[in-house]
Structure 1
Amino acid sequence: MRKIKLTCDSTCDLTPALYESRDIEVIPLGIILGDDLKYDGRDITASEVFDYVDQTGRLPKTSGISVGEYMTVFQKYVDQGFDVIHINLSSDLSVSHQNARLAAEEIDQVSVIDSRSLSSGSGHLALLAADLIEQGHSRDEIVRRLNEKKADLDVSFILQTLEYLHKGGRCSGLTALGAGALRIRPEIQVVDGRMQVGRKYRGKQDKSILSYVRGRLEGRNDIDLSRIIVTHSGVAQDILDRVMALIEELQPFEDRLITQAGCTISSHCGPDTLGLLFFRKTA
Structure 2
Amino acid sequence: MPLHLVNVKPLTALPVFALLYRCSEQDFEEMTAQMTAAWIAQDGTRQAVGAVGLRPSPAHGAEVMGGAFPGPVQHETVVALIRAALATERHLYAYAEAHLLPEEALNMVGLHPVSAYTRMTGSLPSVPPVVPDGFSIVPLSEVGHLEDRWAAQQTYSDRIGHTHVTALAVQPDFGGSDDTLGRLAYDGSGVPVGICRASLHGEQAALETPGVRPDARDTGLRRALLLSVCGAVRVAGATHLTLEARGDTAAERAEDEALELVMEECTPIYASVTPEPANPLLR
* Superposition TM-score tier, normalisation by shorter sequence: under 0.3
Q: TM-score, normalised by structure 2?
A: 0.28
Q: TM-score, normalised by structure 1?
A: 0.28
Give 1 or 2: higher helix fraction.
1
Structure whose CA Rg is larger: 2
